[in-house]
């Protein structure tokens, strides 16, 4: 029997899905040069994100750059404690929702920022101490993470809990004064509220491996991992300027944390300066992330220089007129050089066959494999038969789609079913799946709108 030509039918979720090896041509080639930051990063298994300010969503230059270039979104202020719980017990999600909805409508994932922090606390919380504050903090974590459950790729559960300087100790704050275990209590509450979100500790001045603060955070993460405290990732804010330049040991820092068994993410990148010096530093950051298999993505802290919280330092990738700077070109070129950082030829192959769906919907979606890493793989879908397609991509637990390109994507509440529509980029789109040990290929359906 010729297995290449034989059609086989299987019933999956009540639909007849037909699959054929003949149409599932494997797509093993190296990635093409991406023309935007998000596409280039995603084709290589990472994301490239930006912070978005809700107040700028009415600026069409801003939104068109953000939509074109980035595939991960962080709310710059709108999901912080003062925004989400302005009065104790009274939650306010309108501003956060505006950003999450914009992200989801444009096929982007969201980093949640942040659940527990000494700064930007509502005034009622600033006045609290002790067990009532601990209780209020845990309630906040639970309520906000529950509200956004299923919509958040990663939460900055705790932000900036370590002191600057040579102590390597915790920062004094009202939260710290509730007891040293406040951080792990926050992580446990977040895990219960949203078991599928990656839970990160996020901080600044943790870039230089030899700094006491970096070592203090490292020891905390090491301790959490050894005691089973639920932590999945460490965020490096990466706000750089001449007084705090990109350290030459940045790669060592990222790799050392990754070796503890957590993902690392660059969460708020900006580098003050201009021209080739700024471009070189940006390139170095991208290089360092590319060299660490568990560096899952980079987020810059704003779109244009004029959008930055440090606008006078012109620290971003686009100038105030929305034009690409030298730093942008350097980042894109560096992303495009990227190879799989840790290809694992010994990884098990897919445990199911590719699926296509010519099934009566007026179009056919064909899956092909992209690159594979230890923790994730890329897939590509090619649609034939119609240009008004609607493709669903269903992944099996514990898989999560963490990035998409060339598609306008939305997710169901479980996060397992992505519905993709054309975004003007043609009839081929792709995505990255964090597989969590499940190498099964996704199930596809295709219908026309
Ligand atoms: C900044 C915002 O960009 C500003 O708009 C706001 O006024 C202050 O906060 N570390 C963080 C971010 O974790 O939340 C901060 O964002 C920048 C430093």
Q: How far apart are CA 165 and CA 175, in angstroms?
A: 20
Which of 84, 301, 307 to mutate to test ligand 1, by most ligand atoms within 8 A of the CB atom? 301
| Ligand 1 pocket list (CB less than 6 A) | 76-77, 159, 237, 268, 309
Mean pLDDT of 51-69: 98
Query: Among 178-192, 228-242, 286-300, 357-371, where is mean pLDDT lowest?
Result: 357-371
Substitution candidate for ligand 1 out of 49, 77, 205, 304 with most atoms within 8 A of CB: 77
pTM of the model: 0.80
* Distance of alpha carbon 95 from alpha carbon 144, whole angstroms: 13
Report the separation in Å between the CA atom of 220 and the middle of ligand 1, taken as the mean of its atom positions.
24
Give 339's pLDDT tier (boundaries 50, 70, 90).
Answer: low
Which sign, positive or negative, has the C-alpha torsion 298, 302, 306, 312?
negative
Q: Lowest mean pLDDT of 89-98, 297-306, 341-350, name the range.
A: 341-350
pLDDT (0 to 100) of residue 47: 96
Q: Above 90 in pLDDT, residue 136?
A: yes
Tell the residue nearest (CA) to atom 5 of ligand 1. Answer: 309
Q: In this structure, are residues 108 and 72 in contact, taking their beta carbons and an 8 Å threshold?
A: yes
Would you call 193 helix, strand, or coil by DSSP? helix
E strands present in 53-179? 72-75, 109-117, 154-159
Q: For residue 277, what are the β-bridge partners?
A: none
pLDDT digits (tens, 9 = 90+) for 212-261: 999 999 999 999 999 999 999 999 999 999 999 999 999 999 999 999 99
pLDDT in the model for residue 373? 79
Cα 332-338-339 angle, rounded to 5 deg: 160
Average confidence (pLDDT) over 389-397: 92
Computed over every residue of the chain, the mean pLDDT equals 88
Residue 182: pLDDT over 50? yes
- With beta carbons less than 8 A apart as the criterion, state whether 110 and 149 touch: no
pLDDT given at position 414: 80
Q: List Cα–Cα distances, 448 to 16, 338, 360, 384, 392, in angstroms.
A: 17, 36, 10, 11, 11
pLDDT at residue 359 greater than cutoff 80: no
Cis peptide bond N-terminal to 288, omega within 30? no
Positive or negative torsion for Cα 321, 323, 326, 328 = positive
Give 30's pLDDT tier (boundaries 50, 70, 90): very low
What's the pLDDT tens digit per position in 79-122?
999 999 999 999 999 999 999 999 998 989 999 999 999 999 99
Please indicate whether residue 26 or residue 111 has the higher confidence score (pLDDT): 111
């Amino acid at each position: 029997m010729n297995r290449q030509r034989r059609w086989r039918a299987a019933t999956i979720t009540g639909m007849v899905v037909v699959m054929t090896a003949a149409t599932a041509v494997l797509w093993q080639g190296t990635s093409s040069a991406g023309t935007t930051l998000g596409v280039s990063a995603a084709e290589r298994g990472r994301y490239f994100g930006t912070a978005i300010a809700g107040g700028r969503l009415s600026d069409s230059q801003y939104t068109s750059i953000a939509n074109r270039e980035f595939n991960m979104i962080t709310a710059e202020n709108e999901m912080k404690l003062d925004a989400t719980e302005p009065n104790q017990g009274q939650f306010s999600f309108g501003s956060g929702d505006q950003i999450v909805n914009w992200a989801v409508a444009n096929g982007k994932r969201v980093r949640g920022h942040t659940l527990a922090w000494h700064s930007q606390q509502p005034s009622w919380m600033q006045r609290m101490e002790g067990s009532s504050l601990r209780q209020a903090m845990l309630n906040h974590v639970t309520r906000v993470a529950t509200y956004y459950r299923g919509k958040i790729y990663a939460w900055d559960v705790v932000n900036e809990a370590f002191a600057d300087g040579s102590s390597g100790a915790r920062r004094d704050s009202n939260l710290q004064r509730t007891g040293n275990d406040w951080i792990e209590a926050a992580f446990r509450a977040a895990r219960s509220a949203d078991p599928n979100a990656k839970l990160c500790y996020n901080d600044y001045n943790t870039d230089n491996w030899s700094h006491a603060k970096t070592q203090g955070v490292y020891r905390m993460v090491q301790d959490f991992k050894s005691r089973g405290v639920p932590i999945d990732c460490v965020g490096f804010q990466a706000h750089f300027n001449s007084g705090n330049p990109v350290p030459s040991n940045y790669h060592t820092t990222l790799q050392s944390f990754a070796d503890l068994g957590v993902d690392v993410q660059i969460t708020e990148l900006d580098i003050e300066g201009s021209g080739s010096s700024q471009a070189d530093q940006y390139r170095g950051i991208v290089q360092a992330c590319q060299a660490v298999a568990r560096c899952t993505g980079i987020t810059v802290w704003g779109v244009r220089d004029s959008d930055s919280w440090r606008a006078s330092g012109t620290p971003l990738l686009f100038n105030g007129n929305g034009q690409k700077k030298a730093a942008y070109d350097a980042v894109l070129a560096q992303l495009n050089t990227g190879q799989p950082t840790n290809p694992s030829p010994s990884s098990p192959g897919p445990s199911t066959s590719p699926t296509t769906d010519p099934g009566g919907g007026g179009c056919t979606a064909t899956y092909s494999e992209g690159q594979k890493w230890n923790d994730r793989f890329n897939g590509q879908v090619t649609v034939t038969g119609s240009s008004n397609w609607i493709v669903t991509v269903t992944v099996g637990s514990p898989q999560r789609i963490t990035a998409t390109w060339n598609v306008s994507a939305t997710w169901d509440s479980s996060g397992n079913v992505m519905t993709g529509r054309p975004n003007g980029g043609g009839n081929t789109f792709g995505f990255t799946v964090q597989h969590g040990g499940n190498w099964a290929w996704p199930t596809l359906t295709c219908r026309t709108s």
